[in-house]
Structure 1
Amino acid sequence: MAIHNRSPSSPTPDKIFLEACDIYFRHCHNKPYGFFNSDLFHHKATRNQVPLYLRLALIATATRYSSRSQWKERKQSTIDDYARCAWELITTSPDALGEHDDVAVIQALALLAVIDATAGRRRSAWVKIGMAVRISQDLQMMLEPSSRLCKMEREERRNLFWSLYLLDRFVCCSFQRPPAIKDSDCLLNLPTYHGSGKKSDSTTLSGLLDEKVRDMTFKPGMFGISIGLAAVLGRTIQCMMNEEPTKEVPWHPVSEYGSIYTDLEFLKELAVKNNPVLAEPGQPRSHNDMPDGDREQIAHMVLSHTLYHLSHCILSHPFLLGMKLQSSAHSDIPSAWSEETRSTSLIHAGSLVTVLVEAKAAGYMPVPSVYSYCILVASTIHALHLHSDDISTSRSSAEYLRTSLHYLGEISELWSNAQMMVMIALLLSFDHYTNELQANALKAFAFQCARYSDILLRNNPRVEELTETEMTILKSVVDYWTMMDPQNPVFDLIPSDPDNFSDIFEKGHGYLTPPSPALVDEITLGVSMPGFIVHKGHSANVDPDILVRVPLSAMSPIASDDGREPGWDWETELNAIHE
């Protein structure tokens, strides 16, 4: 796509851009990525100081949340058109990649990386994230911002860098996918929060995770806690998916496995003590009356609890733990530790689904596409327990899988990678829901799932009995990078007749309907879903300390404040760009 006679700083039509800004800052800003300081950005926008490539990247991002029904089928192509225009300007403009001290190109690259990753363009996303990180390091953003910058610029740079850190850690939830940012290089303070008369305590990432200083009165803020949990998630991925064989036993308290577990429990307790209290019990506020900072605190509250449970799911995942134990060649695995680990994985898998589904039921739609990956990892654990000898466990896992499918189906309109994960989740759970269907490939996989359970849900997992194909499939469903690949090997199990699979999907999706939470205006974190059947032996252990109720009115990220559709004239704008 060619762009002619357009200056990098020339504006798109004001109406288009300003509406995009309103949608972006309402639905995306600090949820969880804080790429901008909103006051500083709006000041630059009114003075026409926002480069065109950044304007286009922001419009492309905001397009996803348009409620205009006529764009439902063309939404992704519209997003891609704007994104390609922005990328072309970045790579051809001498200003975008010049030596000036400006973060606009980093912001644009970060936005474009998210668009590429969620569209399945993995290498393109990887390149853009790498470019954004390298430019940020060139600007020394891993250090405290210069005092010569104004307060808003210092805050923007700090939050932008840590948002890149989150993005970097999320896309590296994968086998052999090293992060671009090292924890040891991050010497700037964590983001602080100053909303509603509150102020967070300043600290660095290393200060937050220092085992010698565990002060539960410390208030780093929910954004800072999210960063800490993302850091521990990175260590979890390294420990369970990328570490070379070692003689270290995971059940030893001073092992890396044990250290990660301790850090997770510390950050969970810190998160509970730092959860925002936004209203008195029984007195929910309208989101129109809620300051933006409070809505952003909710976003990071949900993120922190989700990352806590995801890290535990990966740390105790039967397949990943089986691989780790096999590579360590340990035959003397304590049975009590093994049983407790399996119980822990199932509890956290249920709690992760609960956090996201109840947050959505409360009216808050979790925005980051990484949540699709989180809920899929939890689903793989529930799938392994579908064939449990304990009836209550089997039924509970079936209910959580129904709920996961429903969640993925509803958010698939926002994220195309969620559509892929719906298919995978359906494959994982097929045999328990649609016995009358005769798709041989799906039935074969359901049979395989019973085989996986028999191999993995034991004190000494027999991972060596898995075939190479089975290993590939099991790795793919816990690998975020593979999940974004349209050529995921799990899709080989889908029937070759697309109409046949469409019929299966429609029947299955219609049947898998979860119970609706009774309290739709509140978020309950870390407890079992209302109406769910929970394993009798675990019901007393489902994180009672993490129970948090946050009054919140219904809020849809698709509709505008006044309920009217945004008046975006996309076709005219694209034609103007092409001229």
Structure 2
Amino acid sequence: MSEINGQTSPSPSPDTVFLEACDIYFRHCHNKPYGFFNATLFHRKVQKDHVPLHLRLALIASATRYSSRSQWMEKNKSTIDSYARCSWNLITTSTTPLDESDDVDIIQSLAILAVIDATAGRRRNAWVKIGMAVRIAQDLNMMLEPSSTLPELERDERRNLFWSLYLLDRFVCCSFQRPPAINDSDCLLNLPTHYRTGKRLPSISLSELSNEKIRGILPRSGMFGISIGLAACLGRTTKYMMGRPDSTSPWTSRSEYCAIYRDLEYLKELAVKNGPVLASQGQSRIQSDTPSPDREQIAHMVLSHTIYHLAHCILSHPFLIGLKVDLDRRSDMPLTWLEETRTRSLAHAGSLITVLIEAKAAGYMPVPSVYSYCMLVASTIHALFLYSGDSSVCHSSAEYLKTSLEYLAEMSDLWDNAQIMANALKSFIVQCPQYSDILLRTGPRVSEFSQNELAILRSVLDYWSMMDPRNPVFEGSSSLTSQLADIRGMSLSSLTRNQTPLSPTKDETLGISTEHKESVLDPDILISYPLPVMSPMGSDDESSKWDWDSELDYFKS
């Protein structure tokens, strides 16, 4: 029973709850970005009551965060965790051995539960579940083309499920110490099938999409497949920039750095050519009486552009470039190359934030939890340039940071890790002048950083670290809380200058001054989102909040 306006009402039946959860899941989660199911096939299983209990519970747990049911909203986190825990217990205590079944239900449940654990900060649990899902999928040969004896819908589901695991694997491995569980060379199945006006178009493999020799003669690809190609590039970027040192200098034409850059630009071109068109801001909300747009194509279009900019942010991030330059120390490094990487990093950081904000303004909800990480990585670049000597760059970065904090504040209503990242960003902004001073020089000397400073710089770029509320960026956060309390009415630069005395320098070659001039960042940004540093995010402005319940009506077919 539940209380509504002081009156007792009967609790919904388990079937009613599950059906409502299915409706919410397929509107808010399916193919945004993970396509764990074929919708038609799944709804057939629902009608025949062929959905196992562990998958029912996992779906309810995933859908709960979007529900308007009062009994779910009031205890959202505990409800999600309870359903997820029951689902996991059913999987681990099942009397049916895993190797006696060819069903994909277990993989689907594990994938959903892994996302729940990862976003709740339960990193090891998430890592184990992703690993189990990948290994079971490989045991079922899902990295190969599905058997032609299977019905077409089942082949599509298996293909999309495997590639969704691939996406999940690549996202959580945006880290210095997390190798992916799936190797590109092992992926011999075609990319997700693309349909145009109901017609099935020819498919291509990841290796074909990545082959420079046959570009220009490939069949037209769907946005899901392009997203996979960009995720593969993201994996290569992470391995190159966060992995072991490479013997080839990044500024040489034959380096992996240049190869990744070329592939990103090619895939970006494909994404632009093949993507649907977002509604203009003047037509930002889709009316319920208009035909439903291709939501899945749009979701993957937003995803592809976001991954593209994220990969560039990592490829040209001042800290990661500083690590490369510090390790190489060759005299033939062109200063123009260093300047170009900084210019690109700033441009892509701004573009990434713009993509997500404009998608939101157009009514397409970019809510996957990984977008909070993308926003954080872009924002760390703007935090570094917030203390540059160029007033226009400083002002622009301040505006982007304000937008990012507002976005993360809103996402923290859905995802615990968005709150962690928002607090990490605020803490990083306060500590950033000393990092900018070193990283924006002509020759950045990363070796000048202390071990604690290196740990902080690494952690804000590491998705794995950002799943942990105890990551290094929060060390000393108790003192930051008291410092932030005194910011109002002061400039941010004066606060940070008092914390860490710095010697003004001038970089004549790059035109970047590291003298910490008056920052245009409103100190209220660091106070109102909120104080203390580790408290839940909040905002008095309700006008910018997304209306989750009404969104269901906007996208009804």
What is the TM-score of this pair, normalised by structure 2?
0.84
Task: Please name the residue that 2:385 is paired with.
Answer: 385
In structure 1, what is the equivalent of residue 258 of structure 2? 258
Q: Name the CA distance, whole Å, in 1 between partners of 2:379 and 2:62.
A: 28
One-letter code aligned to 1:76: K
Counterpart Cα distance in 1 of 2:445 and 2:377? 21
RMSD: 2.7
> What is the total number of aligned residue pairs between the two structures?
495
What amino acid sits opposite 1:482 in the alignment?
S
Distance 1:409 1:204, change over 3 A: same
CA shift in 2, pair 1:198/1:462, >3 Å: farther
Kept in 1: contact 2:280–2:362 (CA 8 A): no
Alignment of 1:303-318 (within 5 A): 303-318=303-318
- 2:193 is paired with a residue whose SS is coil
2:348 maps to what in 1? Answer: 348
Is the contact made by 1:146 and 1:154 (CA closer than 8 Å) also made in structure 2? yes
Match of 2:336 in 1: 336
CA change 1:291–1:205 in 2 (3 A) is farther
Q: Which residue of 2 aligns with 1:561?
A: 552
Question: Alignment partner for residue 486 of structure 1, among 469, 490, 505?
Answer: 469
Task: For 1:267 and 1:289, locate their aligned partners in 2 and report how far apart those are by CA, in whole Å.
Answer: 35
Q: Name the structure 1 match of 2:111.
A: 110
Residues 94 and 311 of structure 1: is their aligned pair in 2 closer, same or farther, counting only changes over 3 Å? same
Percent identical: 65
Supply the distance in 2 between the matched residues of 1:196 and 1:496 (Cα, whole angstroms).
Answer: 59
Shift of 1:363: 2.0
Report the CA distance shift for 1:498/1:67 in structure 2 as closer, same or farther (over 3 A): farther
CA contact (8 A) 2:64 2:72 kept: no
Distance 1:200 1:478, change over 3 A: farther
8 Å CA contact 2:65–2:73 kept in 1: the answer is no
- How does 1:502-517 map onto structure 2 within 5 Å? 508=525
Q: Distance in 1 between matches of 2:78 and 2:486?
A: 26
Give per-residue Cα distances to partners, 1:370-421, cap 9 Å, x unaligned: 1111010011100110111110001100100000000000111110000011
Q: By how many angstroms is 1:207 displaced?
A: 0.3
In structure 1, the gaps of 5 or more residues are 1-11, 431-444, 514-553, 564-579
Q: Is the 8 A contact 2:236 2:260 kept in 1?
A: yes
In the TM superposition, 1:7-26 aligns within 5 A as 13-26=14-27
Q: 1:465 aligns with which of 426, 448, 462?
A: 448
Contact 1:302 1:355 in 2 (8 A): yes
Q: Distance in 2 between matches of 1:224 and 1:47?
A: 31
Aligned equivalents of 1:190, 1:129: Cα separation in 2: 20
Tell me how far 1:454 sits from its aligned partner.
1.6
Distance in 2, Cα, partners of 1:215 & 1:30: 27
Q: Is the 8 A contact 1:364 1:556 kept in 2?
A: no
- Where 1:480 maps in the other structure, the secondary structure is coil
Q: Is the 8 A contact 1:165 1:181 kept in 2?
A: yes
Q: Distance in 2 between matches of 1:556 and 1:143?
A: 41
- Give 2:357's aligned amino acid: V
- Whole-Å Cα distance in 2 between the matches of residues 256 and 497 of structure 1? 40
Structure 1 contact 172–480 (Cα < 8 Å) conserved: yes
Shift in Å, 1:290: 6.8
In structure 1, C-alpha distance between the alignment counterparts of 2:282 and 2:61, rounded to whole Å = 39
CA contact (8 A) 2:123 2:468 kept: yes
Aligned residue in 1 for 2:223: 222
CA distance in 2 between partners of 1:498 and 1:63 (Å): 33
| Unpaired stretches in structure 2, ≥5 consecutive residues | 1-12, 489-522, 531-544
Residues 216, 270 of structure 1: 8 Å contact kept: no
| TM-score of the pair, normalised by structure 1 | 0.81
Q: What is the 5 A alignment of 1:327-476?
A: 327-430=327-430, 445=431, 449-476=432-459
Q: Distance in 1 between matches of 2:59 and 2:97?
A: 16
List per-residue Cα deviations over 1:524-545 (Å, max 9, x = no partner).
Answer: xxxxxxxxxxxxxxxxxxxxxx
Which protein, 1 or 2, shows the higher relative CO under an 8 Å CA cutoff with sep ≥ 6?
1
CA contact (8 A) 1:275 1:301 kept: yes
The aligned counterpart of 1:274 is: 274
Superposed CA offset, 1:313-340 (max 9, x none): 0000000111122223323310111111
